Amino acid sequence: MSTADHLLNDQQMNEIPNAEEMIFGIVVSEWNYAITGSMLRACIDTLKAHGAKEKHIHVKHVPGSFELIFGANQFIQQEEVDAVICFGSVVRGGTPHFDYVCQGTTQGIAALNTTGNIPVIFGVLTTDTMEQAEERAGGALGNKGEECALTAIKMVNLVWNF
């Protein structure tokens, strides 16, 4: 799903909860930072546009996508956050490394979601080419960072109203 294919209409945008009291942890992979940095910037802009305070947005960097799991878990264990957003970008190469990183990262983030009370948002691009990643990080297909910010706000609201 890309943001550009699923743009929210005005009514849906008005239904996004106010994020003024929400606290977000964001873990960003340094690998392919042209991509992950673009998603990070869009995420922060979107969180702020929906009321999040800058002091309630905490960002940590990790070397690669696989390390997002540990970084997210550290936010959950050591910080008072309402949601954690993970940004990574894995581009297919000529070895099976892509498959292992994608599978491990997906399973690790899924495990954090199923074993904890803090939503962990999956913002990891797994693409065949760098061009595909660029299209999803501010190009023709929107920006996954914006989508993840909205998802985080909605998930915190779900937890608060469960």
**DSSP result, 8-33:** --HHHHHTSPP-TT--EEEEEESTTH
Q: How far apart are CA 29 and CA 86, in angstroms?
A: 8
User: 116 to each of 49, 107, 112, how far by Cα in Å?
Assistant: 28, 14, 6
Nearest to 19 by CA among 55, 65, 50, 58: 50
Catalytic, out of 50, 56, 58, 97: 97
Query: Is there a catalytic annotation at residue 97?
Result: yes
Q: Would you please indicate which residues are annotated as catalytic (active-site) residues?
A: 97
